Amino acid sequence: MNRPIFKRAHIAAGEKGLHRQVGWVHVLEITKISPYLSRGDLILSTGLWLKFEQERKEYLLQLIQSEAAGLCVEFGTSIDHIPADILELADEHGFPIIVFDKPVRFVEITQDIHSYLINRQHQLLKDLENYSRKIQQLTLQSTDVSSILRLLHEYSSQQVAYISTLEHNQFYPSIEPEVAAAISELYAHEVEHRSLGSQESNIHAALDEDTTILFQPVVIFGQVFSGVGIVTREQPTEAAPLLLDYTVKAVATLLLRTQFLEEKMLRNQNGILQDLLSNRIHNEEQAQTSMGLRLLVKGQYLFIGGVMEIEHRSKNVAEERKEAGHQDIMVLLRSLLKKNNVPHLVMMKMNQIHVLCAKESITKDTERNLMLTLQTITADISRFATHQLEGVMIHAGFGKARSKMIESSRSFEEAYQVIEVSRSVPQMNPCLFYDRLGVYQLLKAAPNEFLKSFVQDHLGALIQYDEKHELQLLSTLQAYMNAFGSKLETAKSLYIHRQTLYNRLDKLEEILGEDWLQPHRRTSIEMALLAHDMLQHSR
């Protein structure tokens, strides 16, 4: 309204909508306008449509529903007033109607506003290019996020917030603690746990009735580790999302650099973990101190040891790329553990990552919560490896939780067993925790020769009969056991007729003996089936 050509105009209705942003200008006289209208369009009209009482409200509603910026009407060509019902409708929706009391050349309006928009867009691109250049210089000169936040504040002229799960939150300029806490809470609710695959990058959230925050998450290896926000009491400018985009990319670069540097600094953890694996540390206090844990006066820590095995299924991958992939997985693992406040030691050994996690045992749910956290972290790493690294699979296992760090070697031995079982027994995959192996704990502890003999004693005759007659009695027995003796469910799972199943069950009884379903025989047969399956897949 401050443009020179609009000095001859006035607001007739919809003053509450003067904040609407104009994206372009159109001349539209036809009444079916929806296909030709875009959000933010300013419409110029002689008001010819106002003469049609049945269609004029529909015309204005089309403009409102399409989120047009406003309507300019010229008096003197087609009309000399605007009906009261149209003005009321515009006021109700805060939709500006601008009236030129005398005829005006529409071409002058379009030229003026289009020139202004194009020049502003050109200036915006120049400012963004300048911002990009400055932010690149900052990332090359320092690893300090605060300098980037100051630059964002300078270009946006708004309060800037940086919320992180890896380091301290920062606000520029500084703000009151209660406001900082409210922003952090809003970030945790709106940004941190949001699914990236189904949501937009920019997240617009209301802090209170007058203040909003435009957040953009900082994503590394497909995970949200922090977020940058612009706090404003106004509608964010079109430059704000672009400024945030440049900023979060720079912050991600700094965070990655910091994490890789930290990875190099923490390589002395290899020695600590190696000593634990070899049972060379016998003093619990010394062990906990070496991990950086504070000594507890009351209570205790829980320790869980685990192994992540990296399998490369693509044969034509250079060693350099394999090493780079291992390094990325290590950095992601450390970052996720840090994000979830889990003290840890991590060591890479060949294609295996050994990780020892600790948690102060505060409640009875501490162990369960730690296991859930490790399960989520393992899933995130497996997802990253599948989607970002060529032909890479992650096999993971964790031992039992223990109250003494010096007993960690047993946890790692259990973790190896978990991986072996989950790889050799398909129905146990994915199994992450030794506690969940059940009867496989016994089977894995037994020597292979003993298991082979046990299988031969209880299933040998059946296996030999199947090999000779190809009657699939072994798979029928397995399905019958899995269905808890239900003949209907067994037939369904095998896709065979009930009479065929009855014939096979008769043959099973003939080979195994009439007492094969008695408790002691049934238990032995079930154990033999599990052992046979494990031995078959471990070849």
Percent of the chain whose pLDDT exceeds 70: 95
Q: Omega of the bond prior to 103 within 30 degrees of 0, cis?
A: no
Tokens standing for residue 288: 């906990």
Which 3 state secondary structure label does DSSP give 217? strand
- DSSP letter for each residue of 305-356: EEEEEEEE--SS--HHHHHHHHHHHHHHHHHHHHHTT--EEEEEETTEEEEE
529 has pLDDT over 90: no
- State the pLDDT confidence band at 264, using cuts at 50, 70 and 90: low
Q: What is d(CA 54, CA 449) in angstroms, rounded to the nearest whole number?
A: 92
- The pLDDT tens digits of the residues spanning 33-45 come to 767 778 888 888 8
Mapping DSSP to helix (H, G, I), strand (E, B) and coil, where does residue 359 land?
strand
* Greatest mean pLDDT among 129-133, 238-242, 286-290, 395-399: 395-399
Mean pLDDT of 395-404: 92
Mean pLDDT value across residues 167-193: 86
Structure tokens at 476: 């029928």
Q: Are residues 334 and 346 in contact, defined by beta-carbon separation less than 8 angstroms?
A: yes
Task: Give the mean model confidence (pLDDT) for residues 68-92.
Answer: 86
Per-residue confidence band for 224, with pLDDT thresholds at 50, 70 and 90: confident
Could you tell me which of 445, 525, 512 has the C-alpha nearest to residue 482?
525
Q: What percent of the chain has pLDDT over 90?
A: 16
pLDDT at 322 over 60: yes
Give me the pLDDT at residue 362, please: 81
**Is residue 377 over pLDDT 90?**
yes
Question: Residue type at 346?
Answer: V
Query: pLDDT, tens digit, for every residue of 326-355?
Result: 888 998 999 899 989 999 999 988 889 999
pLDDT of 199 over the 60 cut:
no
Residue 305, both tokens: 């040891």
CA distance 415 to 354: 10
Q: What are phi and psi of 205, to 5 degrees?
A: -130, 150
The alpha carbon of residue 269 and the mean position of all alpha carbons in its chain are separated, in whole angstroms, by 29
CB atoms within 10 A of CB 493: 16
Between 18-22, 201-205, 298-302, the lowest mean confidence (pLDDT) is in 201-205
